[in-house]
Amino acid sequence: MVAHAEPVFIDPTTDEGFKRLFGDKVNLINFLNIIFRGRKMITDLTYRDTERIGATEEIGKVIFDLVVQISTGEEIIIEMQTSTQTNLKQRMLYYASKVISDTAPKGNRKAWAYAIPEVYTIVLMDGFHMPGVDRNTYFHDTCLCNRDSGQIFYEGFGFIYLEIINFVKSEAEVEDELDKVFFMLKNMSTLKTLPRIMKSAVFQRFFQLASYAKLTKEEKTMYDISLKRKWDAEAVRMYQQEQVEGLEKQLKEAKKEAKKASLVAKAEGLAEGKAEGEHNKAIETALRFKEMGLLVEQIAKGTGLSIEEIEKLK
């Protein structure tokens, strides 16, 4: 185990931290109501699987599978998790599609009438960027829409990504409840005291549960293992990123050198072509001078050709 100073608060983006903070029903309801920004008002929820193990390459991954009651009386399904970088969009689409297909009855589809519940996937992205997206944006609320007009085509299939790495606001710059969530997720593990902006009951509850000192001995051991796993994954990710950046730099330099070589070759080709053209022109002139009966020495002086070259001309 890597030695480290005992923190005041745990890291919510580790598997154990994520499970502890969002495995608390009240915390999760408050979090979801902030994330949906008034579009949905969550009144209750049920954990369908408190913890679900992901695919082989994601052993230990915590995924909350939720049935959520909203103020209209309807139920929606939410999957919430942290995520690795590999094939992010494709994997989230697969998970969400599987949730929908699992709701379908085995038979009597006609009577069911495709009464698909609304399904949302919420992902905490820690330490890496969303591929192909502006890096100034840290909150991505995505649904099916018309590509040209932007008009929503279908509301009930959504993806909400919290790109934590892009959030760079200081405590003084935090503007609203959503910003507070990001500030908490990014900075909780390095804070020594509860920030002034987190004095509300909603955030006090998060920080109370996040107190490292209040963990049992077993919980501390599990959290430390989870934290080391995160550090190891981050080290691997940074190494891979350095390798990719190194290859990209080499490719850029190679392209630069290839372009330079191409320009040199082109210039040399032009110079060679020009010299050849001038030589051919001198030969034509020398032939005319010979026909006029000029002496070889005079032709050499007038064309720049050697006496040997002129004597061979016919």
**What secondary structure does DSSP assign to the chain, as a single string?**
----PPPSB--TTSHHHHHHHHSSHHHHHHHHHHHTTTSS-EEEEEEEES-----GGGTT--EEEEEEEETTS-EEEEEEEEE-STTHHHHHHHHHHHHHHHTS-SS-HHHHTT-PPEEEEEEEE-SSPPTTS-TT--EEEEEEE-TTT--EEEEEEEEEEEEGGG----GGG--SHHHHHHHHHHHGGG-SS--GGG-SHHHHHHHHHTBGGGS-HHHHHHHHHHHHHHHHHHHHHHHHHHHHHHHHHHHHHHHHHHHHHHHHHHHHHHHHHHHHHHHHHHHHHHHHHHHTT--HHHHHHHH---HHHHHH--
* Count of other CB atoms within 10 angstroms of residue 271: 10
Per-residue pLDDT at 72 = 92
Question: What is the block-wise mean pLDDT of the chain (314 residues), using blocks of 10 residues?
Answer: 74 92 95 95 87 48 88 91 80 86 79 86 88 87 92 92 94 95 95 93 95 93 88 73 72 72 70 73 78 77 78 73
Per-residue pLDDT at 130 = 85
Beta bridge partners of 165: none
Per-residue pLDDT at 50 = 54
Per-residue pLDDT at 81 = 87
pTM: 0.71
Per-residue pLDDT at 33 = 97
Residue pair 127/165 in contact (Cβ under 8 Å)? The answer is yes
Structure-block tokens of residue 27: 């915390």
Per-residue pLDDT at 1 = 46
How many residues does the structure list for the chain?
314
